Amino acid sequence: MKWITREKVKVDRVACPWLIKKFIDPQAEFIFVPADKVMEIAEREKAIPFDAPGVELGHHEGRCSFEAIVEKYKIEDPAIKLMAKIIHSADISKDLHLQPEAAGFRAIAEGFGLLGLKDDLEILAKEFIVYDALYAYCKRRVMETQK
């Protein structure tokens, strides 16, 4: 399946493709376009839009797109639920203080955009390991709280 969002990825627009690849659609293809072209190209390419204004898998009621995807696809993994809180805090400026990991995670995610990488797909390829690490951290934290 094809998935489409705005170009110039940061926290949520890397987290969403990571989540989609790991939990929803391992064969997913991602398209990054200017914000004003998302819906036009989504229709032409028959792609699922995410993290763009007015789309189902976007920001709604104070939640980020990662949270919308977790909810829609009924991902019940407790580590993903914790990860969603961290992604939310890192992505939503006014909520940066809600999770202790958020500010550092946001700095790392934004730093990838400053490395001079070729495009958003290259950023995903390089940055997914950071999201893998965050997921591993969340799994450990969940296990520790269940003891």
Provide DSSP, 62-119. TB-HHHHHHHHTT---HHHHHHHHHHHHHHSGGGGGGSTTHHHHHHHHHHHTTS--SS
pLDDT score for 7: 96
pLDDT score for 34: 96
pLDDT tens-place string over residues 25-40:
999 999 999 999 999 9
pLDDT tens-place string over residues 99-133:
999 999 999 999 999 999 999 999 999 999 999 99
How many Å apart are CA 24 and CA 43, to the nearest integer? Answer: 21
Map residue 26 onto helix, strand or coil. coil
Provide the whole-model pTM. Answer: 0.95
Output the average pLDDT for the chain.
96
pLDDT score for 81: 98
In which band, very low, low, confident or very high, does the pLDDT at 146 lie, cut at 50, 70 and 90?
Answer: confident
Contact 57, 49 (CB under 8 A): yes
Q: Is the pLDDT of residue 147 over 80?
A: no
18 φψ region: left (φ > 0), alpha (ψ -120 to 50), beta (else): alpha
Q: Is the pLDDT of residue 86 over 90?
A: yes
